[in-house]
Amino acid sequence: TTEIYTLSLHDALPIFIHPIHTEVVANIKGRDEILGLLFSILALHTLFYKRAMYLVLGSVFFILGLFSKENVITLLAIFPLTLYFFTGNSLKKIILKTLPFVITAVVFIIIRTKYVGFIGDRVSGDILDNPFLYASFAEKYATIVYVAGKYLSLLFFPYPLSFDYAYNQIPIVNWSNTMTVLSFLINAGLLIYALINFRKKGIIIYGILFYFITYSIISNVFFNLGLLLGERLIYLSSLGFCIVI
């Protein structure tokens, strides 16, 4: 038996009304985030159909999402996670269902690399485009952890909001900063809790993992985004937050 979790309009309401989405909705630049999330949800939806044509359709939605917003590539981990949590598919079937999306992602990366370069391959010597330019290794990762806590705090208590977190709006911090330590404990605690309870396949566990997986690409851990924080950037990840809520 395949058990599929469905969200009613009432259940999904937080994703529609959360104040942190103001920038995405009000700024025309945010259309990429909206389309990226839309195509992501459509691609995820196709996973629950057995006919092969839906995998093709899902791949089309996926590449449309990728061309809308690159952070959609994190769905490569969300696809097998979703199949594992909400279907009775074997590991082999999960891999086979995920394979078309992997191929689609490779095609996207080839196209992107050919025309605009590889993701994260540009290093700027301008402090306005590289907030970590004068930060030490320890300060860089302390600030990254601090910002992770800032994102969570804005999701729980979205005030004050801003369209601009440019130079020094969020200062570089070190590991002696209280909020950095608190952020590390909260984020690490949530992730450890989700991993410990992974086999239970609970919806809250899924929401936590969805959040961290999609957040990873905007975290500045893997490559420099050129900014520390942007409310529009958390749009896709906020779906995981809203699932938990």
Tell me what the pLDDT averaged over the chain comes to: 89
How far is 93 from 163, CA to CA, in rounded Å? 43
CB-CB neighbours of 142 under 10 Å: 22
Q: What is the pLDDT of residues 15-33, one digit of tens each?
A: 668 899 999 988 888 899 9
Band of pLDDT at residue 122, cut at 50, 70 and 90: low
The mean pLDDT value for 77-94 works out to: 94
Q: What is the pLDDT of residues 147-180, one digit of tens each?
A: 999 999 999 999 999 988 888 889 999 999 999 9
At residue 129, does pLDDT exceed 90? no
Tokens of 122: 């540009």
Burial of 28 by CB count in 10 Å (0-12 exposed, 13-18 middle, 19+ buried)?
A: exposed
pLDDT-above-90 percentage for the chain: 70
Residues 100/55, Cβ–Cβ less than 8 Å: yes
pLDDT at position 128, please?
Answer: 80
pLDDT at position 225, please?
Answer: 87
- Residue appearing with tokens 């919806």: 203
At residue 14, does pLDDT exceed 80? no
